[in-house]
Structure 1
Amino acid sequence: MADRKAILRSFAKHWLKPLVLIALVLPLVWITVQWVLLLTGQPNDLGFEPVAATHHFLGQTAIRILLISLAITPFRDLTKWGPVMKVRRRIGLAAFWYALLHLTAYFGADLFFSLPKLWEDIVERTYITFGMAALALLIPLAVTSFDSMIRRLGALRWKRLHMLVYPIAILAVTHHFFAEKGLQPGPLVHAGILALLLGYRVWKAVETRANRPASA
C-alpha cells in the first residue's frame, strides 16, 4: 500500500500534467495531420466536406473536454485521489481553446470572416445562438483561470464565477443537439453524460445539507 501511494505521488508530481497536456493537444495534431494529407493529395479522414468535418470535429472535441473537466470532481470523490484536481483548470482552458477554434473554422471557412453574416446566423439559427452564448460565457472563465486572478478575485468570488461552467455545458450540449440533422446518437450521449454529472452534484449537495448539523 505504501509503495502504491508513493508511485501515485511520484506520478502526480512528475507525469500527470505533461501527460494531460499531450492528451489535450492530440486532437489538434490529428486534425492538422488530416489537412496536411488532404493538401498533399494523400488519403485522409475528412471526407467529402473537409471544412464542415473540421469545425464539427473541433466543436465536439470542445464539448467532450468540457465534460471531462466536469468529471474531475466526481472522479476525485470516488477515487479519493486529490492530485487530479491540479489539472482541472488546464482541461477547462483546453475546452475554451477548442471552442474558439471551432468558431474560427466556422467564421472563416463558412462565412469568410463576415461579421454581418455571423450576426445574422446568431439571430436566425437557434443552434448558433446557443453555441455563441456558451462561448461568450466561457471567456470570463478562461480569463480568470490563473492563480493571479484567483488571488485578485478571492477564492469565494472565483468559485461563484466558475459555477458558470454548468449553464455553459448545458448550452454547449444543446447547441450540438440542434446542430445535428435528425436524432443523432452523439448529442444524446453527451446529454446523458452531462445529466449524470449534474445529477451527481445535486445528490452531493443534498447529502451535504442533510448531514450538516443543525444550528443551536
Structure 2
Amino acid sequence: MATARTMAVRQRLLLHPAAKPLIFILCLLPFAWLFYAALTNQLGANPQEALIRATGDWTLRFLCIVLAVTPLRVISGTPALARFRRMLGLFVYFYVVVHLLSYSGFDMGFDVADIAKDIAKRPFILVGFSCFVLLTPLAATSFNAAIKALGAKRWQLLHKLVYLIAGLALLHFFWMRAGKNNFAEVFVYAAIIAALLGWRAWKRFARPKRPASAAVPVMGAR
C-alpha cells in the first residue's frame, strides 16, 4: 500500500505541465516506429500485412490502457490519472483509423465497392468495421462542448459503448488469429479485458449496503 507521501508525489508528477505532452509523445511512438520501419523496409517479407496487423494490435492495446485508467486511479489513489483518459481514448481512435486506412489501401486499393463487399462477406471484417463505427461517436464527443450539449448522463451512457467495443475488438482479434491457430495473445488480451470489466462489475454490485439508520441522508449531505 502506497504511503500518503508516495501518493502525493505521484499526484504532483501527473499534474505537472509536462506530463500531458510526454504521454502524447509516448502514445505516438508506435506509429512513428511503424512509419519509419515502412520507409526503411523493416516490416518483413509482407510489409502490408505487418502494418495492418500492427496497427490493429496497437488499437487493442490502447483500448486496454483506456479501460485500465479507472481501476488504476481508484486502486492507487491517484485521481490525476483521469486527466489522461480522454487523450488516450482519442489515440484508440487514431490507431483504429490508421488500421482501417492500412486495410483499405493495401488490401483493397481504396476501392469503396470492394471494401463494402468485403465487409459484408467476411464476419471478422464486419466486426472490425463495427468497432470503428462505434468508436466514431465516442471520439466526436470527447470534448467539453459535446458533454455540455449531450448532458452528463447521456454522455456517460454513450461512452459506455466502450465495453461493447472491447468485446467486439477482442472477437475481431480472435478471428484474425484463428487462421494461423495462434491464440496465445488472444488469451492474454481476453484475460486483461475480463479483469478490467470484471473489476467494474465487482465495484458496481459489491457495494456495501448502508445501514437502515443511514438510509435517509442528513440535510445538505453529499
Partner residue in 2 for 1:193: 192
Alignment partners' CA distance in 2, 1:6 and 1:57: 37
* Equivalent residues of 2:11, 2:78 under 8 A apart: no
Partner residue in 1 for 2:96: 99
Taking structure 1 as reference, are residues 213 and 170 closer, same or farther at Cα in structure 2, changes over 3 Å only? farther
Alignment partners' CA distance in 1, 2:161 and 2:125: 19
Partner residue in 2 for 1:29: 32
Partner residue in 1 for 2:209: 211
Partner residue in 2 for 1:127: 124
Alignment partners' CA distance in 1, 2:173 and 2:189: 9
Question: Over residues 3-61 of structure 1, what are the superposed CA-to-partner deviations in whole Å (9 max), with x where a residue is unaligned?
Answer: 645533431222331221111100011001101212xxxxx2x1100000001000100
* Equivalent residues of 2:7, 2:78 under 8 A apart: no
* Equivalent residues of 2:134, 2:161 under 8 A apart: yes
Alignment partners' CA distance in 2, 1:195 and 1:5: 27
Partner residue in 2 for 1:87: 84
Counterparts of 1:32-111 in structure 2, within 5 Å, are 32-38=35-41, 44=42, 46-111=43-108
Partner residue in 2 for 1:10: 12
Alignment partners' CA distance in 2, 1:130 and 1:146: 27
Question: Over residues 57-90 of structure 1, what are the superposed CA-to-partner deviations in whole Å (9 max), with x where a residue is unaligned?
Answer: 0010001001100000000111010000000111
Alignment partners' CA distance in 2, 1:3 and 1:187: 39
Counterparts of 1:110-121 in structure 2, within 5 Å, are 110-121=107-118
Partner residue in 1 for 2:220: none
Deviation of 1:183 (Å): 3.5
TM-score (norm 2): 0.89
- Where structure 1 has 5 or more consecutive residues not aligned to the other structure, the ranges are 39-43
Structure 1 counterpart of 2:168, from 171, 179, 199: 171
Quick one: percent identity of the two aligned structures? Answer: 37
Count how many residue pairs are aligned between Structure 1 and Structure 2.
Answer: 209
Q: Which 4+ stretches in 1 moved above 3 angstroms?
A: 1-7, 212-216
Question: Over residues 151-208 of structure 1, what are the superposed CA-to-partner deviations in whole Å (9 max), with x where a residue is unaligned?
Answer: 1111111111000000001001100100122242122211111111111111111112
The answer to which of 180-189 and 22-31 deviates more is 180-189
Whichever structure has more helix as a proportion of its residues is 1
Taking structure 1 as reference, are residues 204 and 6 closer, same or farther at Cα in structure 2, changes over 3 Å only? closer
> Secondary structure of the equivalent of 1:211?
coil
**How large is the Cα RMSD of the aligned pairs?**
1.7
Q: Which amino acid aligns with 2:198?
A: G
